[in-house]
């Protein structure tokens, strides 16, 4: 299994541009997540999905959109890039198993700079 | 989810045990304690989790106090590759809530 893959690894955007960060997992996980991590800080949840066709907001959803048309893919869309969105973005997935806890598998991250 | 408190940084000598503490005094009965780590610039990596009992796997041991208000992650023989930020997270297991809330964690530096 490749696990969780993210593309691109790096990207520089100009203010006002838009882009889509791609995330794919091949573990047949039903739950997927997008986090951002600013320098020296912990991760903050942007959006998550509990299955195809179902998404919900996390802590910091403003300026982002997501969709989940398949189990494998969970793209994150930035419509009007702003300098405040300069960050490292991590995608994660997990398989819900009811009670008992579970681990999240993280991708390698996308480093985004908005100038 | 309960709030956690961790020291911002710790040092450990290579080959020695690293003991990372975490306080979670407001933990409720159905909340699990999770540990993740993040090696520089990489995505976080799951280490271990537990509810009440002590847990051990190939990476580490998790010791939870009887009152569950604190826990300790133990890396039995730390190596240089264990240098990372370690996050202690408390959350409910199961149901529809699998979201993780990350704080700033503890930067563990393993010295040769």
pLDDT over 90 (residue B20) = yes
- Reported as a single tens digit per residue, the pLDDT across A29-79 is 989 999 999 988 889 999 999 899 999 999 899 999 999 999 999 999 998
Structure tokens, A28? 């047949």
Q: What is the mean pLDDT of chain A?
A: 92
B97 interface with A at CB cutoff 8 Å: no
Residue A39 confidence (pLDDT): 86
From chain B, the residues in CB contact with A98 under 8 A are 94-95
Residue B103 confidence (pLDDT): 84
* Nearest Cα to Cα of residue A73 among A98, A99, A104, A107: A107
* CB-closest option in B93, B99, B103 to A45: B99
Subunit contact B42:A103, Cβ cutoff 8 A: no
Residue B10 confidence (pLDDT): 97
CB A98 within 8 A of CB A82: no
CB B71 within 8 A of CB B31: no
Length of chain A: 115
Residue B97 confidence (pLDDT): 58
């Amino acid at each position: 299994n490749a696990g969780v893959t993210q593309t691109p690894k790096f990207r520089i955007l100009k203010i006002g541009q838009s882009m889509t960060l791609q995330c794919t997992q091949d573990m047949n996980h039903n739950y997927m997540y997008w986090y951002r991590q600013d320098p020296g800080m912990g991760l903050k949840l942007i959006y998550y999905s509990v299955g195809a066709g179902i998404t919900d907001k996390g802590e910091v959803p403003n300026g982002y959109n997501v969709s989940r048309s398949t189990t494998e893919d969970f793209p994150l869309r930035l419509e009007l890039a702003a300098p405040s969105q300069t960050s490292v973005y991590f995608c994660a997935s997990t398989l819900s198993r009811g009670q008992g806890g579970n681990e999240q598998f993280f991708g390698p991250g996308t480093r985004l700079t908005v100038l | 989810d309960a709030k956690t408190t961790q020291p911002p940084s710790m040092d450990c000598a290579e080959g020695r045990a690293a003991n990372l503490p975490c306080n979670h005094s407001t933990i409720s009965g159905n909340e699990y304690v999770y540990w993740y780590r993040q090696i520089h610039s990489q995505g976080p990596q799951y280490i271990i989790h537990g509810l009440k009992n002590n847990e051990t796997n190939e990476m580490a041991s998790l010791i939870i106090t009887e009152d569950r208000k604190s826990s300790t992650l133990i890396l039995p023989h730390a190596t240089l590759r264990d240098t990372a930020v370690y996050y202690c997270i408390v959350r409910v297991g199961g149901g529809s809530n699998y979201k993780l809330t990350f704080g700033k964690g503890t930067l563990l530096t393993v010295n040769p």
